[in-house]
Amino acid sequence: METITIKETFYDTPDRSTTEEIERDVKLFKNNNLINQLLEGFPDLVVILNWNRQIVAYNSKAVNILHPSDKGTIYGQRIGEALRCIHAFEMPAGCGTSKFCTECGAGKCNKYSRESMLNCSGECRITVDTGKGEAALNLKVFSSLLHIDNKYYTLFSIKNIEDEKKRRMLERIFFHDVLNTASAINGIATILPQIQDPDEFNEFSQMLLTSSNQLISEIQFQRDLLYAENGNLEVNPKPVSINSIITKVKEIYLDHEVAKGKTIEVKPLEKDAVIETEENLLLRSLGNLVKNALEAVKDGEPVIVYADQTNDSIYLNVKNNGVIPLNIQMQIFQRSFSTKGNYGRGIGTYSVKLFVEQYLGGKVYFVSNKMLQTIFTIEIPKIFSAVEKVN
C-alpha cells in the first residue's frame, strides 16, 4: 500500500494513505450496491475505514454528525478528526497518535480489531470542538474487519449513549446522594423536638441547617450543569473577594463527610483582590476540586487551598499529596470518567472545566508529578470575560 509516512506517534500508526489511494477506495465502495445497502441498514452512524484508519465510505446518518475537512470532504479523515475531537490535531499525523489517544475507546477498539482480526465493542468518552465551545460525547463503538478485493477495511459504528449516561447519573445522584442527605435531615428533624439540653439542641439545629444547605446545593448544581450544557446558564457577575471565596470553601467542606480525619489548610492572598465574576460558579468549581482532593488523600494528610495573582489573573490552587496515574491524567476532564467505577460519577472535574472555561472566561489545568505532587489550578481573569452563551 502506498503511504505517506510521518514518524510521530504515542499510540497507533501515523501512516496515512495518499489522496489517490483514498479516491480509489471511495470509488470501490460507491460502486458496491451491497455495501451501500449494508451501511444504510445500520440504525446508527457507520463508516468504513481503510487500513490507515481513514474514512472511505459512510452512511447517510453520518452526514449531520461528521464534519468535512478543510478540503470540504469527509473522505480521508479519521474518526476523531471528523468528530472534531480536541486532541485529534495535536500531532502532525492526526487522530490516533497523541498521548490522549492511548485512552480513547474508539482508538482502542479500532487498533484491537486490526491487530487481532476480531470484533470489538466498547465505550468512548470524547470532547469535541463545536466551534462555539467544547462539548462532551459519550459513545458506544463497534469495529469489525472487512476483507474486500484482497485488502482489509474496518466497519466502524458509533452510537450516542449520552441520554443513557445522563439517566444513570441522575439515578445515582437522586437515589443515592440526595436521598442520603434527605434521610439525614429527616433523622435530625425527628429527634430535634426531643432534645432538652440547649447546647445539644443548638448543635443539632446547626447540623440540620448544614444538611439542608448541602441538599439545596446538590440540586442547584445539577440544575446549573444541565443549563450549562444546553447553553442556557445565566451568568450574573458581581464584585467578589478572592480571600472570601477561599474561606467559604473551607467552611463548606470542613465538616463534610469526605473531610473526616483530614485537614484543609488555607493560604489566602497577602493583599486581597476583588474581581468581577459569578461567585456561585467560582465557589462551586473550587469546591469540587477541594472535594476531589479530600477524597484522594489519606487520613491525616492535608489539602492546601491557596491563591496567587498577577496583574491580569487570579490563580486558585488546590494541592494534595500523591501523583495521579498517567492513564487517569489523560481522561481527567472527560464527562462520566471516574476512578471510583460507579455509574453516574465523573462529573466533578468535567463541570469545573465547563463552568470556568465556558462561563467565567478562565482556564482549568493541573500538574501531577513526584516533585510537585498534585495541584489543580483555576485561572480567572481580573477583567470579566465570560462567554455569554454556549450553544
User: Domain 234-391 - what CATH class?
Assistant: alpha beta
Do the first three CATH levels of 3-160 and 234-391 match, i.e. the same topology?
no
Per-residue pLDDT averaged across 9-34, rounded?
95
- Phi, psi at 274, each rounded to 5°: -115, 125
CATH code reported for the domain at 3-160: 3.30.450.20
H or E element, residue 135: strand 134-148
- pLDDT at position 7 over 60: no
Helix, strand, coil % in the chain, rounded to nearest 5:
40, 25, 35
- pLDDT at position 349 over 50: yes
Per-residue pLDDT averaged across 24-49, rounded?
94
Q: Please tell me what DSSP assigns to residue 176.
A: I
- pLDDT at position 5 over 70: no
Residue 391 pLDDT level (bands cut at 50, 70, 90)? very low
H or E element, residue 327: helix 326-329
At 209 the pLDDT is: 86
What are the pLDDT digits (tens) for 101-117? Answer: 999 999 999 999 999 99
What are the pLDDT digits (tens) for 272-284? Answer: 999 999 999 999 9
Per-residue pLDDT averaged across 217-236, rounded?
85
At 257 the pLDDT is: 78
- pLDDT at position 388 over 60: no
Residue spans of the domains in the chain: they are 3-160, 163-230, 234-391
At 341 the pLDDT is: 44
Separation CA 116–CA 343 (nearest Å): 30
CA 45 to chain centre: 23
User: 55 in helix, strand or coil?
Assistant: strand
- pLDDT at position 90 over 50: yes
Residue 336 pLDDT level (bands cut at 50, 70, 90)? low
